Amino acid sequence: WGFVGAVLVLLFFGVILYKLLVFAFVADSTFEALFTYGVVIWILTHMAINIGMNIGIMPVTGIPLPFMSYGGSHLLAEFVALGMCVAMKRYARGGHKYQVQNEFLGLE
- Tens digits of residue pLDDT in 6-62: 899 999 999 999 999 998 988 888 888 999 999 999 999 999 999 899 889 988 888
Q: What is the pLDDT of residue 94?
A: 63
Domain ranges of the chain: 2-93
Asked whether the CA dihedral 98, 101, 107, 108 is positive or negative, the reply is positive
Cβ–Cβ contacts within 10 Å for residue 5, how many? 9
The single-letter code of the amino acid at 62 is G
